[in-house]
Structure 1
Amino acid sequence: MKTIKRLCVSVICVLAAGNLFAQDPLFTQFNFTPTYLNPSLAGTGRNNLRLSAVTKVQWFNLYKPYKYFSGGADLSIYDDYQRNILNLGLNVNHSSRGYLSNTGINGIVGRSFGTSNEDCSKWFLSLALQAGINFSRVNPDQFLFIDQLDQTGITGNASQVDLFKTFNSKSYFDFASGFVFTYSDFMLGGAVHHLNQPNASFNGKPEDGKIPRKVTGHLSYRYETQTLTIKPTVIGQVQGNTNVFTVGALIDYYEFPIEFGLWYRNAVGLANNNAFCVGVTWKWGEAKTVTSRTKEYSNRIGLSYDADIIRPGLNTTHGSLEFGIQKDVIINNNNYCPTSTTGICNYRFPWEFF
């Protein structure tokens, strides 16, 4: 009977597919998937090429836990004067929510700007556009409908319900844009996803599956002491009736290749879901970077845990777990400080806030 109840709950969740796909997944370790947060972060890594990936298992106690993945690569290209002329990015996202799955493949093109004086000033600007295609699918083979039950339980007969048998897949184009601006020790960014508000409905009715635009704003600060660097960040996201507010900080120690993260998230509209998040990142491979005169770690892996404290609660969900990995690669060893003709920069690159 427990299996029947769980399967029935799954059917109810699938019937609410429009609401599920109307809300984009949230990643606590956004630093391991920067272009998912904001496409304008493409080409703003420590070196010419950055490889990133993060995976998430949400709510272990569900019959089929939600699973998410985001991974990609971004590249910065410079001219003979070491000034940025083009940023490119590729991002692949996949989500599995019960019997619903979605895969998106996105390409990013952008450019970073600074001053062309002898020495760069304190500001840095990056703009980008993103275009991609998404593939959604629902698997009805494991559904359990009312005509497959009798007084003794499951009959084993095939259902005559034509739910999702005819329209069980969907593809659509999707577009986004963003900007990121740094000045001194501050970074401000913004992005709009689903600019065209694509129709993700399986039956093709726009009123059932129109994805609302997601508007993201984020603000970061970098504070340095003699022993550590504190990098607080505030992220606000609005999508349809859902407002998500995230605040926290990354704490980076100089003497140890370890970075800690502490976060609080309030998701109004998602049943007022509140969560505390903790994470740890291990770094290795200290080497030269093309965007600064200091040596930085070129490899990092991170693990984080989200504990839902209110609705649905930790006892119900058992929380969520994320694992991220990132690598920065030097392609052109002659590059120094893009947008500067002298190789001397006063501004901070976006990666310095993550």
Structure 2
Amino acid sequence: MSQTHSSKFLIAEDLESFPEELKGGIVAIGNFDGVHRGHRAVLDAALGLGYGTHHPVFAMSFEPHPRTVFNPAKPVFRLTPQQAKLDLMRHCGLDGALILPFTKEFAGIEANAFVQDILIDTLGISHAVTGYDFHFGRARQGTPDYLRTAGATHGFGVTIVHQEEDEGAEVISSSRIRDSLGKGDIAQANGLLGYRWFFEGKVRHGDKRGRDLGYPTANLNLGEDCPLLPGIYAVRVKAADGWHDGVASFGRRPTFDNGALLFEVHLFDYAGDLYQQDLRVHLVSYLRGEEKFDTVEALVAQMDRDSEEARAALGAMRPLSEIDQKLLELAA
């Protein structure tokens, strides 16, 4: 952890509002979608450099995702939209974050202007930390080697963090995590993230069918670009009144209407009203695929079995990391 004079997590969304308290600091630069184990290796390297010094440590990231800017017809599904990314960075122990608007004009600035105008003149950095694959500036001129040379020329330190691999010696990446979600391999996605993947959404009215079945649900929209495999999941949910365990169905309800994709959460032993609440849903495990049942009775019997399996999975849950423990407010 950095030992700075401020315990606040400071956020700036443009260069003009960059806070004085972060100037002269150590910056970790990257997109950081997911803030997964590979990203945290970069953040941890920056925090390690700041430990015991007066230098603040902050992240520089970009919104929207660069690939979405260059190919808007195929937007990148965000593992962590901006607020979730900031929450994770705060839990990592950073002093703040600078989220720069990413546009084609921004992507077209010369690499030397990025260094001089942003890193030196505006941020006054003492050290830059990036991943091995980070590039910046027009035509991706700003390679890791370019940054090293610029640092030596201008008097700031540069650390390039090597790729982070999982237990199978495969590189950890946001793309792999999206693929894992698309296969329903929640165990792998969560393992690569180092925490249980979560999303946030506002509860909306549904057709109240779950209530008639004895399984009232909170209905959430995950978005059309979400790659998550339809199926049944064990979930842990943060609502306004605290944490709840539950079981969720993501799909089109083939037994009834085969309609639009919907994420339906049933909270165990809950009698309150969740409508219009903002929920944070953590996926703990994948139980089974979506099925069509011949009768409502057969569906309810399966839902009973799903609930038992979800309770067992949730009862066996242990923190995956310090971040996971903080996010889920789990006991050590």
TM range (shorter): under 0.3
Q: TM-score, normalised by structure 1?
A: 0.25
Q: If each structure's strand is expressed as a fraction of its own residues, which one has the higher value?
A: 1
More helix, by proportion: 2
TM-score w.r.t. structure 2 length?
0.26
